[in-house]
């Protein structure tokens, strides 16, 4: 703005541009705010572009390459072609139809009566729910405990809020012989307890976890809950994959444990719930005492989310409530479909010499690649972690895209986890077959 204003003035005053640049700008003042320093790299921007540039078979970013269920598509169609009001502003903190059904739907699993007005904030995907949470709760110098591996945006969001991230890794424990499971990765309770200090404001939990697929058991959640209660700490519980459970895993909401409702922000995503990541409708749920602060951030940044998308999501939940627990429920059907895809991918990875960690939930499977050594001599990025170089090499030379797992670790722990890559199996069977073909041909050539 300033620059174009000065150019306009120049033209009218017939002066050269140099004379017109305000003196403050002529001094080499930095343009950007310091809070965005060090958070400019983004794994999705980098690897999604690379996958597209090389037209790779894409098991990288977590989005389904199949259609959402017909009832969601039809509801969206009705929303955009129907009432004029679906094209206009709706309530700032959530479209009335959506907050009403979300309250009804989740009160059972939260063990809590939910007030649609006070206890819910509808956001632009789970991303914005996370952003509002960190902006609203974290002060300069506050500490936020993040369990590793973690969905990558938690760290930059904490930093941008002025907080300090404190990391605690899930550690792989020797399991029984055979295929490893995400359930073999656990927190060390003593190590976790040691991370809580007087400055700890919040802990971030993600169950089922991205990228590992770990589903935290009730006993594991209880350890976290006890520490939150003891230290007066808020729990940010990211549960975007809550419907995607495999085998006998069960999703437990930490907010439902004694003493936790009043200190937990539970975050969900309609994109993941209905296999429609482009909808970008998410939500935060919690006590009014916390939610009111998230609303302050929301009303001063986004104000409200797309009305038609919220209308469609509301219909989706109404339909699911009607069919809850029945075979026609999408929340039952989707994990059943994905169970087969997960199985197939694991078998394929084993057969080509990788060691997959079987996920108990979610979209992803990580695999140990330390048995597959390839020559990654590339002088341009020799200082990058091994998994980054491996995935880049695989995209360029094998036409298969995945995501390096060390992207989900802090700089201090990255080195210990650079032998894993992440595969997304929420893909058409034809996509998975194309990936399998690449992997098999590769393993034959070795």
Residues engaged in binding ligand IK2 (CB under 6 A): 61-62, 125-127, 151, 206, 210, 238, 240, 269, 271, 277, 282
Q: In angstroms, give the least distance from the CB of 105 to ligand IK2.
A: 17
Q: In angstroms, give the least distance from the CB of 374 to ligand IK2.
A: 24
Residue whose CB is less far from ligand IK2, 122 or 325:
122
d(CA 156, CA 261): 26
| E strand intervals along 115-199 | 120-123, 143-148, 164-169, 171-172, 180-181, 185-186
Please give the residue whose beta carbon sits closest to ligand IK2 in the complex: 125
Q: In angstroms, give the least distance from the CB of 350 to ligand IK2.
A: 23
Using a 10 angstrom Cβ sphere, with 0-12 exposed, 13-18 middle and 19 or more buried, the burial of residue 1 is exposed
Using a 10 angstrom Cβ sphere, with 0-12 exposed, 13-18 middle and 19 or more buried, the burial of residue 217 is middle
Q: In angstroms, give the least distance from the CB of 60 to ligand IK2.
A: 7
Residue whose CB is less far from ligand IK2, 103 or 366:
366
Q: In angstroms, give the least distance from the CB of 446 to ligand IK2.
A: 28
Query: Residue 149, preceding bond cis, omega within 30 degrees?
Result: yes
Residue whose CB is less far from ligand IK2, 304 or 374:
304
Residue whose CB is less far from ligand IK2, 62 or 163:
62
Residue whose CB is less far from ligand IK2, 238 or 387:
238
d(CA 165, CA 145): 6
Close Cβ partners of 441 (under 8 Å, ≥ 6 residues apart): none
Cα–Cα distances in angstroms (integers) from residue 169 to residues 124, 135, 352, 413, in the given order = 29, 24, 28, 8
Residue with tokens 């009730």: 218
Q: In angstroms, give the least distance from the CB of 206 to ligand IK2.
A: 5
Residue whose CB is less far from ligand IK2, 328 or 331:
331
Q: Which two tokens stand for residue 406?
A: 């060390």
């Amino acid at each position: 703005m300033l620059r174009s204003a000065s150019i306009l003035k120049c033209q009218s005053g017939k002066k050269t541009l140099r004379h017109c640049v305000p003196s403050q700008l002529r001094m080499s003042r930095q343009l950007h705010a310091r809070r965005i320093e060090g958070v400019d790299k983004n794994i999705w921007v980098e690897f999604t572009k690379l996958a597209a540039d090389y037209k790779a078979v894409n098991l990288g970013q977590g989005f389904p390459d199949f259609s959402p269920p017909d009832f969601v598509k039809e509801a969206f169609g009705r929303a955009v072609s129907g009432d004029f009001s679906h094209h206009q502003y709706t309530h700032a903190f959530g479209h009335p139809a959506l907050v009403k059904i979300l309250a009804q739907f989740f009160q059972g699993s939260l063990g809590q009566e939910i007030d649609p007005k006070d206890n819910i904030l509808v956001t632009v995907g789970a991303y914005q729910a996370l952003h509002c949470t960190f902006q609203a709760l974290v002060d300069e110098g506050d500490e936020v405990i993040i369990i590793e591996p973690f969905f990558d945006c938690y760290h930059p969001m904490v930093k941008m809020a002025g907080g300090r991230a404190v990391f605690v890794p899930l550690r792989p424990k020797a399991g029984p012989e055979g295929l490893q499971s995400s359930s073999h990765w656990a927190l060390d309770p003593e190590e976790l307890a040691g991370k809580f200090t007087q400055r700890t404001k919040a802990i971030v939990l993600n169950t089922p976890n991205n990228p590992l697929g770990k589903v935290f058991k009730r006993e594991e959640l209880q350890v976290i809950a006890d520490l939150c209660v003891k230290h007066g700490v808020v729990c940010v519980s990211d549960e975007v994959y809550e419907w995607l459970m495999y085998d006998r895993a069960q999703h437990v909401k930490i907010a439902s444990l004694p003493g936790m409702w009043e200190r937990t922000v539970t975050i969900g995503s309609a994109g993941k719930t209905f296999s429609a990541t482009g909808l970008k409708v998410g939500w935060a749920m919690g006590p009014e005492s916390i939610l009111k602060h998230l609303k302050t951030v929301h009303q001063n940044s986004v104000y409200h989310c797309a009305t038609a998308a919220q209308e469609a999501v509301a219909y989706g939940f109404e339909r699911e409530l009607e069919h809850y627990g029945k075979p026609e429920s999408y929340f039952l059907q989707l994990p059943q479909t994905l169970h087969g895809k997960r199985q197939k991918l694991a078998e394929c990875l084993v057969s080509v010499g990788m060691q997959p960690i079987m996920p108990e939930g979610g979209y992803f499977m990580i695999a140990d690649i330390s048995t597959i050594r390839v020559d990654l001599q590339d002088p341009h990025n020799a200082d990058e972690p091994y998994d980054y170089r491996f995935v880049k090499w695989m995209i360029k030379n094998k036409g298969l895209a995945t995501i390096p797992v060390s992207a989900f670790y802090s700089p201090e722990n990255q080195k210990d986890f650079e032998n894993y890559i992440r595969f997304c199996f929420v893909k058409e069977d034809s996509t998975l077959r194309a990936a399998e073909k690449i992997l098999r041909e590769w393993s034959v050539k070795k």
